Structure 1
Amino acid sequence: MDVAEFDKFADEYHNLHQENIRITGENPEYFAEYKIRDLSRVEQIVGGEVKNILDFGTGVGSSIPFLAQYFPGTSLFGTDVSENSLTIARKRFPGLGEFSLFDG
């Protein structure tokens, strides 16, 4: 899928994702959170202080609030190939992270 295709789906991503996982009985936020929660458990086992987190392929930023919750005080950075997705992420989560376009 090229960048233009990602941009086409940015506005509807959440609804499409919700429809695709409907059979599980869970919402998209559930899946976004459980991945971050598991990551925080690994960080607790390994130890050390996490200062920066890059959410590569952040899309509309669904992981950002959970990264902020489970890794308080950490600088968050989201990058994606879809400018439309990043625009949505910035609107959804102002002040939680920095979002930038990945041109790769």
Structure 2
Amino acid sequence: MSKKQPVEKINFDEYADVYVKVMEEDLKFFGEENSYFAEYKVKILKEMLDEKPVNLLEYGCGIGRNIRFFKTYFPDSNIEGCDISDKSLKIAREENPEIKFSLINDDFINSNVNKYDVIFISCVFHHIAP
């Protein structure tokens, strides 16, 4: 029986300022404009949904790279983002001042049960210990 490898805890505040550069390097195979990856995920979500969501949450929004595409593809939805990184949320707020961003903690989770029609999660689960 194989032994489970521990998931390394990452301090995402340390990456907030360089996240765009890291993503540009990791996604350079998409071409110079790597926002294609962010837009494509949101586009797939729109195609999958039968109804337009009233309240949409991006769980693990980081610096908010997907948010502009949520605003484009879901213009009538109330869009919010949440993350565990204060520093990433600060950047997300600067880029999207009209969007509500929240820090993920027990209060956020407990006070938002059943609030959202759609919760979008991408590139998050591999950071969570099983």
TM range (shorter): 0.7 to 0.9
CA contact (8 A) 1:14 1:28 kept: no
Q: Would the alpha carbon gap of residues 49 and 30 (structure 1) be closer, same or farther in structure 2, given more than 3 Å must change?
A: closer
Instruction: Indicate yes or no: 2:92 matched with 1:85.
Output: no
> How many residue pairs get matched?
99
User: 1:67 corresponds to which residue?
Assistant: 70
Question: Is the Cα–Cα contact under 8 Å of residues 52 and 74 in structure 2 kept in the other structure?
Answer: no
Q: After the TM superposition, which segments of 4 or more aligned residues of structure 1 sit over 4 Å from their partners?
A: none
Please give the TM-score of this superposition, normalised by the length of structure 2.
0.70
Residue 27 of structure 1 aligns with which residue? 33
| SS of residue paired to 2:17 | coil
Q: Which of 89, 94, 98 is 2:97 aligned to? A: 94
Distance 2:34 2:19 in 1: 10
Whichever structure has more helix as a proportion of its residues is: 1
For the 8 Å contact 2:30–2:36, the answer to whether it is kept is no
Q: Is the 8 A contact 1:53 1:77 kept in 2?
A: yes
Provide Cα deviations, 1:39-67, integer angstroms capped at 9, x if missing partner. Answer: 11112xx2x33101010000000111100
Q: Which of these two proteins has the greater Rg computed from alpha carbons?
A: 2
Unaligned residue ranges in structure 1 (runs of 5+): none
Which amino acid in structure 1 is aligned with residue 22 of structure 2? Answer: L
Residue aligning to 2:12: 6
Name the structure 2 match of 1:18: 24
The alignment yields a C-alpha RMSD, in angstroms, of 1.6
- Cα distance in 1, alignment partners of residues 43 and 64 from structure 2: 16
Q: Percent identity?
A: 37
TM superposition shift of 1:23: 2.9
